[in-house]
Every structure is written in structure tokens, then in C-alpha cells.
Amino acid sequence: MSKFDIVEKKLYEAGTLTSKQIVEMGISRVSITNWVKKGLLERVSRGVYILPEDLIDTLFVMQSKCKRGIYSHETALMLHDLSDYTPSKNVMTVPNGYNVHRLKNESVEFHWIKDEVHELGVMTIKSSHGNVIKVYDLERTICDIIKYRKKMDRAIVNSSLKEYINRSDAKRYKLTMYAKKLGISKIVSDVMEVLY
């Protein structure tokens, strides 16, 4: 089996590989460059490769460009099946001061938050292409939705909140804990009281 056959097999399984993952298989960066020139691999982002006939995993590619970005708000609602609405721009939360200037032409909306609560409620899930991405969990997503409800589509907010309270995996104690840490306890309590 040739080195390319090994990479191709792995790409059929994973969908996307980073140059780091390929190098860890004992393959040189020169080989990667040559395969791209020959059209055997497609470079979809700096250090991220797919097979030419594959669809691009935009969520994975964006997160590989924005290492500290965590999918949130409308994107997190979609990833947790709390909404069937597909946002025109994916939404990510980054810590205050994180430079996203080089990403301004990407189809992403950014929210900034204090560094001490940036990782609160972060989890990993698999994208529809099977790649691991970071997203806020259900309760953190609900906190964000409640906090920014006046800046979002009212129908999306209302249907998502109703969907959440009917979920068997909803954890109200965790929602309360996150709301306290984010400084929005009263707002979350008032909104949830109306729903229950």
C-alpha cells in the first residue's frame, strides 16, 4: 500500500485531515504539497485537506482557522437539534481581545466574552461530516439565547426554548449554575418561569 493509499483510506474514514495528522502517519509535508499539485488532495484551508470529490466540512474548516472559536447561538441551536433553522452565517464565541481580523471575509458572526467564562459549557460533537468540533452544551446555549434574545429572531428563540424544556436531557440545575456564572440569573429565571 502506497503512502497516498494510506492517506486516502484515512480520508474516506475521517472526511478531513490536517497536515499534522498526515505528518504523524510518517508522511512528509513535501508529499502533501505534491499530492495537492497533482490534484489528488484538495487544500480547503491552511493545513486542512480533503479528497477532491468530497464536500467541504465548513464547520470543521472554520474551527481550524479560528482555534479559540466555539460554536454558539443559532449554530449551537442547530447542532443540538433545538432548531431546524440553518443560519446564513455560523456563529462563534471567542474570548475578549481574540483577533478575528483575518477571518472577516468568512461567513461567520462573532461574539466576544470574558476569558474566564469562554470555556464554560464547552463540549465536542461530530459534525455531519464526522469531524470533531467544539460547541457549547445545551444549557450554555440556552443561556446565550436568553441573554441575546432581543437581538435574535423571536420565533427562533421561542421555539428553541420550548424545545429545550421538553427535552429529556435538559438539566435545569446546570442552567441555573451557568446563569449565575454568566451574571444573568434573574433574566434566565424570569424567562424559564414563564415557560414552565
Top-confidence residue, 46 or 73: 73
Which pLDDT value is given to residue 51?
86
Return the C-alpha cell found at 97.
Answer: 481581545
What is the per-residue pLDDT across 123-155, written as a single tens digit (0 to 9) for each? 999 988 888 999 999 999 999 999 999 999 999
Which pLDDT value is given to residue 188?
94
Which pLDDT value is given to residue 101?
86
Whether the per-residue pLDDT at 40 is higher than 80: the answer is: yes
Residue 104: φ, ψ to 5°: -65, -20
Instruction: Report how far residue 81's alpha carbon sits from residue 140's, in angstroms, rounded to the nearest whole number.
Output: 14
What is the per-residue pLDDT across 93-118, written as a single tens digit (0 to 9) for each? 999 999 998 887 778 999 999 999 99
- Over range 37-41, report the average pLDDT: 88
pTM of the entire predicted model? 0.80
Mean pLDDT value across the chain: 90
70 DSSP assignment:
E
Please choose, from the candidates 157, 153, 159, 155, the residue with its C-alpha nearest in 3D space to the C-alpha of residue 143.
Answer: 157
66 DSSP assignment:
S
Query: Domain residue spans in the chain?
Result: 3-56, 67-195
Strand partners, 93: 70, 111
